[in-house]
Amino acid sequence: MKAFFKKLTRKYHRPDSWFIILLGFIVFLGLVFLTSASAVVGLNTFGSNTFFLVHQLLMGVLPGVILFVFLSYFDYRNLRKIALPFLIFSLILLGLVFVPGIGLSRGGSRRWIALFGLSFQPAELVKLTLIIYLAALFNARQKKIKTWTGGFVPLMVIFLVIAGFIVAQKDMGTLIIIFLITLAVYFLAGGRWLHLMILFGSAAVGFLLMIVSAPYRMQRFLTFFYPALDPLGIGYHVNQALIAIGSGGIFGVGLGHSLQRFLYLPEAYGDSIFAVMGEELGFLATTAVIILFIFLVMRGLKIVKAAPDFFGRLLASGILSWFVFQIMINLGAMLHLFPLTGVPLPLVSYGGSSMMVFLAAFGIVVNISRQSMD
């Protein structure tokens, strides 16, 4: 048993220290921003201005760091053997959100499960297990990726299965992220352009049908083009976000001095936390935070380039693609470049599931860096 464990956790060389430092610094800043953005709601709702901070630490950062450390030593190649069971397990969890007594409904959506007094959002785990499975699948079928049966059909089957669960949960933001992850991994694996265009075109038609079939989605879509259409209704969220960011100006009003967090801005500590950051930090400091994200991705791309095998390159690039897409969609929604989709800002927004799974994913990236060819 000892020899088996040693084989699973075998060490190579030191990991990318800058990647780890940047990741840790961003997590720390995220906790600082969360403390400020959630203080008012925490005090009004739970009688403690640090309620959300403590919950994020205990339910997100702590288990996330444990998984990060373990996966940074666990040989990533072993993930190929458990990719399919791991994906199936995450899909079972995804299905449990519809089971009475286990699934939780919030804001009209069923996205969480509650077990032993703890809540978890399975869709966050599915994002990671999907990347692992696709990387393992395409690694095993490198010579068949451009064929219908070897690459495109298996890709479409697994995407449609996951999409069915996500659509039933009424979580369009997560569906967009999962589609972009699927598209990115298939493209990076060497998929045919024809297949990519079919996938993209089919998804565009599907998303359009989802928008026109649900009045609230159509209202959100129209509000994106006409934010003043219903400023106290469906357009309230985006207008308050723009007010917050605009109020920050160049230098901001100061950390902890946001007015929008006083129950004006919906989800100030969650999906809208960037708007609070813009108000408190201003343009310059907020831009510096975005640059930190960019530096982290650049270090990650260095790890991808030096990965020792095709599976490692696909795995690390898939995780980084997921990270980048989620940042872009969140920031784009707050800056009114994209419609609101309810996607959290990675490593910053409140949400233990997102924090834990992202830290676990970056632990895998660090393990790949330990075995890089540099």
Task: Answer yes or no: is 1 within a domain.
Answer: no
**CA nearest to 260, candidates 286, 283, 280:** 280
Single-letter amino acid code for the residue at 88: I
Task: Answer yes or no: is 257 within a domain.
Answer: yes
User: How many domains in the chain?
Assistant: 1
Per-residue pLDDT at 124: 93
The answer to whether 94 and 324 are in contact (CB under 8 A) is no
Per-residue pLDDT at 16: 87
Half-sphere exposure of 275 (CA within 13 A, CB side): 30
pTM, two decimals, is: 0.90
Task: Answer yes or no: is 297 within a domain.
Answer: yes
End-to-end CA, the chain: 31
Q: Where does 190-235 have alpha helices with state H? A: 193-213, 215-225
Return the structure tokens found at 109. 């959506």
Whole-number percent of the chain with pLDDT over 70: 89
Tens digits of residue pLDDT in 221-231: 666 666 666 66
Task: Answer yes or no: is 72 within a domain.
Answer: yes
Task: Answer yes or no: is 82 within a domain.
Answer: yes
CA distances to 131, 197, 200, 240 from 206, in Å:
22, 14, 10, 30
Helix (H) and strand (E) counts in the chain: 14, 3
Query: Which structural domain, as residue segments, surrounds residue 16?
Result: 7-370
Task: Answer yes or no: is 2 within a domain.
Answer: no
Per-residue pLDDT at 4: 44
Residues of the chain below pLDDT 70: 1-12, 106-109, 214-217, 220-235, 373-374
Q: How far apart are CA 361 and CA 300, in angstroms?
A: 12
Per-residue pLDDT at 110: 72
**CA nearest to 354, candidates 332, 313, 329, 323:** 323
CA 256 to chain centre: 26
